[in-house]
Structure 1
């Protein structure tokens, strides 16, 4: 039986997914340029030499131009690889070759480094459906990033990439949910 919070989360995710699907290609293109500039600024500001970042799905804020910049500027990147046990492996990837992973998400092709590889990164950039004003993140419901962040002994700064209208006053929260340190939107970098 699903809890009341789970039902509220599911309804909110459906609404946010629909909102993302309805964005025009012009809106997405303008947002991509802005996301890229803000992600570059965030990486530079933190002096990050090794970043964990996801490969965006078609309706997510596009991380690829940022990843191309990172690759061209010597910022190494680890990408999440979903596992059936609910954990994330990490791979470096070549920045070009992708495969479809578990749940249909894009993943890099590269040597698997195992779940603890993320402990060496300087900055973590993760997807989100929404984030609230306290930094509580609503993910897409599988809990991979919550498990990863919750298990790290020393966690570097974690930023979620969302559209401006996905920053909310509050999002439903359950015990396992992990907050983020900030968000990157097309118009700003916000640290909580």
Structure 2
């Protein structure tokens, strides 16, 4: 049945949203602190100078402490801004005010750049609902990051930020789904041999 992966994804996303929603604030804070340490390690190991990341929502593993650390070291940071046409614009991280884009996602209020602004980054950090141990990422269903990653020539390493229990053996996939090079979880960094 053609809709089977889509239906499986929908059910899995609902389950994962609920699991994230019921995590305690203590669990979230511990997870975010550990992920921040691992992101610092990843950025240092890869010697990054320019990254694309995102502002996490309250239920997601936190990104803000890492972004403050990176900015404090002079690493240039771009953050996504969702567009109505399904593409992402980018805006520099300045650590200042936040707004919401058309999907209600947190975004910076700095200068808006076009979709190609991401070209030249050394590392891309993406949100995910879950990731398989082979590197297949399942996002939240709108396809923004799949479109971005699929359109890049010479894509740099891409790492998804997830909780430990969201790294699974298998995820439902469709033709447009893009793999990631690794994940950062509270337990550590896992890199995949993406083909």
Q: Is the 8 A contact 1:93 1:111 kept in 2?
A: no
Residues in 2 aligned to 1:101 and 1:33: alpha-carbon distance in whole angstroms: 26
- 2:30 aligns with 30
The secondary structure found in structure 2 opposite 1:173 is coil
Does residue 113 in structure 1 map to residue 116 in structure 2? no
CA distance in 1: counterparts of 2:142 and 2:39, whole angstroms = 25
Task: Tell me how far apart the structure 2 counterparts of residues 120 and 95 of structure 1 sit (CA, whole Å).
Answer: 21
Give the alignment of 1:126-137 within 5 angstroms: 126-137=126-137
Identify the residue that residue 87 of structure 1 maps to in structure 2.
87
In the TM superposition, structure 1's runs of 4+ consecutive aligned residues that sit over 4 Å from their partners are none
Maintained 8 Å contact 1:35/1:186: yes
Match of 1:188 in 2: 188
Q: Calculate the TM-score normalised by the size of structure 2.
A: 0.96
Give the alignment's Cα RMSD to 1 decimal: 1.1
Partner of 1:120: helix, strand, or coil? coil
User: Partners of 1:125 and 1:133 in 2: how far apart?
Assistant: 17
Is the Cα contact below 8 Å between 1:51 and 1:123 reproduced in 2? yes
Question: How many aligned positions are there?
Answer: 192
Residues 18-41 of structure 1 deviation map (CA, whole Å, 9 limit, x = unaligned)? 000010011111111101000000
Where does residue 63 of structure 1 map in the other structure? 63
SS at match of 2:89: strand
Within 5 Å, which residues of 2 pair with 1:122-161?
A: 122-161=122-161
Structure 2 residue matching 1:70: 3-state secondary structure: helix
Residue 14 of structure 1: CA displacement?
Answer: 0.4
Where do 5+ consecutive residues of structure 2 fail to align?
Answer: none
**Structure 1: gaps of 5 or more residues:** none
CA drift at 1:2? 7.4
